[in-house]
């Protein structure tokens, strides 16, 4: 199971990112654990200045906007 963490303050883009990841995982039949981190101090521990950001198994793989569906599928299939 992959662990995906979405870093963001709760804005619409952050919520849409969570939804995109969950829907993509469900469509592919991939088990994922999606976590949401909204605390600015915790977000800063990842060295992220712009959100939403996506952390896959402990590694920041995207920051500064909603990822494309193709990117999300790539993460889920890797």
CA distance 27 to 41: 33
pLDDT at 78 over 90: no
Structural domains in the chain, CATH included, are: 2-77 (3.40.30.10)
pLDDT at 15 over 90: yes
Q: What is the pLDDT of residue 73?
A: 96
pLDDT band at 10; cut points 50, 70, 90: confident
What's the mean pLDDT when you consider all of the chain?
A: 94
The bridge status of strand 53-56 relative to strand 2-7 is: antiparallel
């Amino acid at each position: 199971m992959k662990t995906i963490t979405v870093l963001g303050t709760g804005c619409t883009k952050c919520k849409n990112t969570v939804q995109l990841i969950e829907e993509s995982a469900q469509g592919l039949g991939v088990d994922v654990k999606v976590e949401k981190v909204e605390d600015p101090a915790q977000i800063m521990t990842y060295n992220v200045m712009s959100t939403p950001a996506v952390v896959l198994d402990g590694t920041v793989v995207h920051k500064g906007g909603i990822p494309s569906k193709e990117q999300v599928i790539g993460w889920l299939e890797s």
